[in-house]
Protein backbone atom coordinates (compact mmCIF):
# COMPACT_ATOMS: atom_id res chain seq x y z
CA UNK A 1 0.00 0.00 0.00
CA UNK A 2 1.36 3.41 -0.94
CA UNK A 3 1.30 6.18 1.59
CA UNK A 4 -0.21 9.50 0.42
CA UNK A 5 2.94 11.35 1.51
CA UNK A 6 5.12 9.12 -0.67
CA UNK A 7 2.85 9.71 -3.66
CA UNK A 8 2.84 13.47 -3.08
CA UNK A 9 6.64 13.47 -2.74
CA UNK A 10 6.97 11.54 -6.01
CA UNK A 11 4.72 14.04 -7.80
CA UNK A 12 6.72 16.94 -6.43
CA UNK A 13 10.04 15.41 -7.44
CA UNK A 14 8.77 14.76 -10.95
CA UNK A 15 7.08 18.13 -11.37
CA UNK A 16 9.48 20.51 -9.69
CA UNK A 17 11.97 21.05 -12.48
CA UNK A 18 13.43 24.49 -11.86
CA UNK A 19 13.91 25.57 -15.49
CA UNK A 20 11.31 24.65 -18.11
CA UNK A 21 11.62 27.77 -20.28
CA UNK A 22 12.73 27.20 -23.88
CA UNK A 23 15.05 29.96 -25.05
CA UNK A 24 14.97 31.42 -28.56
CA UNK A 25 18.10 30.38 -30.46
CA UNK A 26 18.15 33.31 -32.88
CA UNK A 27 16.36 36.53 -33.80
CA UNK A 28 15.91 39.53 -31.51
CA UNK A 29 17.10 38.41 -28.08
CA UNK A 30 18.01 40.05 -24.79
CA UNK A 31 20.12 38.43 -22.07
CA UNK A 32 18.09 38.41 -18.87
CA UNK A 33 18.90 37.34 -15.33
CA UNK A 34 15.73 36.45 -13.39
CA UNK A 35 16.56 36.40 -9.70
CA UNK A 36 15.43 36.39 -6.08
CA UNK A 37 17.22 36.52 -2.74
CA UNK A 38 14.21 34.86 -1.05
CA UNK A 39 14.73 31.64 0.89
CA UNK A 40 11.19 30.69 -0.23
CA UNK A 41 10.39 29.27 -3.64
CA UNK A 42 9.50 31.89 -6.27
CA UNK A 43 7.66 30.68 -9.39
CA UNK A 44 7.90 32.65 -12.65
CA UNK A 45 5.08 32.07 -15.15
CA UNK A 46 4.86 33.75 -18.56
CA UNK A 47 1.81 34.76 -20.62
CA UNK A 48 1.09 35.95 -24.15
CA UNK A 49 -1.18 38.73 -22.87
CA UNK A 50 -1.25 41.39 -20.16
CA UNK A 51 -4.27 39.76 -18.44
CA UNK A 52 -2.34 36.59 -17.47
CA UNK A 53 -4.91 34.44 -19.27
CA UNK A 54 -3.38 33.34 -22.60
CA UNK A 55 -0.80 30.56 -22.91
CA UNK A 56 0.36 30.25 -19.30
CA UNK A 57 3.79 28.59 -19.04
CA UNK A 58 5.88 28.01 -15.96
CA UNK A 59 9.38 29.27 -16.82
CA UNK A 60 11.34 28.58 -13.71
CA UNK A 61 11.58 28.29 -9.95
CA UNK A 62 14.05 30.30 -7.94
CA UNK A 63 15.15 29.98 -4.33
CA UNK A 64 18.11 31.17 -2.32
CA UNK A 65 18.73 27.65 -1.03
CA UNK A 66 18.19 24.01 -1.95
CA UNK A 67 15.86 23.20 -4.86
CA UNK A 68 14.82 19.75 -6.09
CA UNK A 69 15.86 19.05 -9.72
CA UNK A 70 17.92 22.23 -9.85
CA UNK A 71 19.20 23.19 -13.27
CA UNK A 72 21.63 26.12 -12.94
CA UNK A 73 21.70 28.43 -15.96
CA UNK A 74 24.20 31.23 -16.45
CA UNK A 75 25.22 33.28 -19.47
CA UNK A 76 28.15 34.97 -17.70
CA UNK A 77 26.44 38.29 -16.99
CA UNK A 78 28.41 40.47 -14.56
CA UNK A 79 27.33 41.47 -11.04
CA UNK A 80 26.18 38.00 -9.94
CA UNK A 81 25.49 38.05 -6.19
CA UNK A 82 22.88 35.32 -5.85
CA UNK A 83 22.76 31.76 -4.56
CA UNK A 84 23.20 29.33 -7.48
CA UNK A 85 19.48 28.42 -7.23
CA UNK A 86 18.38 32.03 -6.71
CA UNK A 87 18.92 33.21 -10.28
CA UNK A 88 18.90 31.98 -13.86
CA UNK A 89 20.29 33.78 -16.91
CA UNK A 90 18.44 33.16 -20.16
CA UNK A 91 17.92 34.59 -23.62
CA UNK A 92 14.47 36.21 -23.92
CA UNK A 93 12.66 37.04 -27.16
CA UNK A 94 12.86 40.83 -27.50
CA UNK A 95 10.45 41.05 -30.45
CA UNK A 96 7.40 41.27 -28.16
CA UNK A 97 6.70 42.32 -24.55
CA UNK A 98 7.83 40.09 -21.69
CA UNK A 99 4.70 39.31 -19.67
CA UNK A 100 5.05 37.32 -16.49
CA UNK A 101 3.67 36.71 -13.03
CA UNK A 102 6.16 36.21 -10.18
CA UNK A 103 4.67 34.40 -7.16
CA UNK A 104 6.37 33.81 -3.83
CA UNK A 105 4.98 31.82 -0.94
CA UNK A 106 6.02 31.28 2.67
CA UNK A 107 4.67 28.80 5.19
CA UNK A 108 4.99 30.11 8.75
CA UNK A 109 4.34 27.57 11.53
CA UNK A 110 3.04 28.95 14.81
CA UNK A 111 2.20 26.34 17.42
CA UNK A 112 -0.23 23.87 15.86
CA UNK A 113 -1.21 26.11 12.94
CA UNK A 114 0.53 27.07 9.72
CA UNK A 115 -0.06 30.43 8.07
CA UNK A 116 0.57 30.78 4.34
CA UNK A 117 1.80 34.09 2.97
CA UNK A 118 1.63 34.57 -0.81
CA UNK A 119 2.55 37.56 -2.91
CA UNK A 120 2.39 37.97 -6.68
CA UNK A 121 3.67 40.61 -9.06
CA UNK A 122 2.47 40.89 -12.69
CA UNK A 123 5.13 42.31 -15.03
CA UNK A 124 4.95 43.64 -18.59
CA UNK A 125 8.18 44.99 -20.06
CA UNK A 126 9.83 45.36 -23.47
CA UNK A 127 13.45 44.23 -23.51
CA UNK A 128 15.70 45.59 -26.23
CA UNK A 129 17.65 43.18 -28.39
CA UNK A 130 21.34 42.61 -27.59
CA UNK A 131 21.12 44.27 -24.16
CA UNK A 132 21.47 42.65 -20.72
CA UNK A 133 18.98 42.96 -17.86
CA UNK A 134 18.38 41.85 -14.30
CA UNK A 135 14.81 41.16 -13.16
CA UNK A 136 14.76 40.67 -9.38
CA UNK A 137 11.79 39.57 -7.27
CA UNK A 138 11.89 41.15 -3.80
CA UNK A 139 9.92 39.39 -1.04
CA UNK A 140 8.34 40.68 2.15
CA UNK A 141 5.34 39.22 3.99
CA UNK A 142 3.54 42.55 3.63
CA UNK A 143 4.36 43.18 -0.04
CA UNK A 144 6.55 42.13 -2.91
CA UNK A 145 7.95 43.78 -5.99
CA UNK A 146 9.97 43.16 -9.14
CA UNK A 147 12.78 45.53 -10.07
CA UNK A 148 14.06 45.61 -13.65
CA UNK A 149 17.54 47.00 -14.23
CA UNK A 150 19.78 47.17 -17.25
CA UNK A 151 23.23 45.66 -16.79
CA UNK A 152 25.67 48.16 -18.26
CA UNK A 153 29.27 47.23 -18.91
CA UNK A 154 30.90 50.51 -19.91
CA UNK A 155 34.27 50.09 -18.21
CA UNK A 156 33.10 48.64 -14.90
CA UNK A 157 29.72 46.84 -14.79
CA UNK A 158 26.79 48.62 -13.16
CA UNK A 159 23.04 48.19 -12.72
CA UNK A 160 20.85 51.02 -13.98
CA UNK A 161 17.38 50.71 -12.49
CA UNK A 162 14.69 51.08 -15.16
CA UNK A 163 11.38 50.34 -13.46
CA UNK A 164 9.66 48.60 -10.57
CA UNK A 165 6.41 46.64 -10.42
CA UNK A 166 4.61 45.84 -7.18
CA UNK A 167 1.80 43.66 -5.91
CA UNK A 168 -0.83 46.40 -5.75
CA UNK A 169 -3.77 45.92 -8.06
CA UNK A 170 -4.35 48.49 -10.76
CA UNK A 171 -6.62 48.78 -13.77
CA UNK A 172 -3.77 47.43 -15.93
CA UNK A 173 -3.02 44.26 -13.92
CA UNK A 174 -6.32 43.46 -12.14
CA UNK A 175 -7.11 40.52 -14.42
CA UNK A 176 -3.86 38.80 -13.33
CA UNK A 177 -5.48 38.27 -9.92
CA UNK A 178 -7.26 35.23 -11.40
CA UNK A 179 -3.93 33.64 -12.36
CA UNK A 180 -2.56 34.41 -8.90
CA UNK A 181 -5.56 32.75 -7.17
CA UNK A 182 -5.60 29.73 -9.50
CA UNK A 183 -5.34 26.45 -7.56
CA UNK A 184 -2.05 24.64 -8.24
CA UNK A 185 0.32 22.30 -6.44
CA UNK A 186 2.58 25.41 -6.51
pLDDT of residue 134: 98
- Of the CA atoms within 13 Å of residue 108, those in its CB half-sphere come to 8
**E strands of 5-97, at which residues?**
29-36, 42-46, 57-62, 87-93
pLDDT of residue 19: 65
pLDDT of residue 15: 42
Helix (H, G, I), strand (E, B) or coil at 124: strand
User: What CA–CA distances, in Å, run from 22 to 5, 60, 99, 108, 149?
Assistant: 31, 10, 15, 34, 23
What single DSSP character describes residue 173? T
Chunk the chain into consecutive blocks of 10 residues (it has 186) and report each block's average pLDDT, rounded to whole numbers. 34 49 91 95 93 91 84 90 94 96 88 88 96 94 91 88 88 78 70
Q: What is the pTM of this model?
A: 0.84
Counts of helices then strands in the chain (DSSP H, E)? 2, 9
Backbone angles phi, psi at 93, to 5 degrees: -60, 120
CA dihedral of residues 79, 106, 55, 18 (deg, nearest 10): 50
Q: What is the full DSSP assignment across 126-170?
A: -PPTT-EEEEEEEE-SS-EEEEEEEEE-SSS-EEEEEEEEES---
Residue 177 · residue 53 · CB < 8 Å:
no
Domain regions of the chain by residue span: 4-181
Amino acid sequence: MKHPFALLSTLCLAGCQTLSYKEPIDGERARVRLASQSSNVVVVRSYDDATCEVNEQEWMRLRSGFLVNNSPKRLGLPLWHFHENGAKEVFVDASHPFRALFIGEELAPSGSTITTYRCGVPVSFEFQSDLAYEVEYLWDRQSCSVVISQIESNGSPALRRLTQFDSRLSEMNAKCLGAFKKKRLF
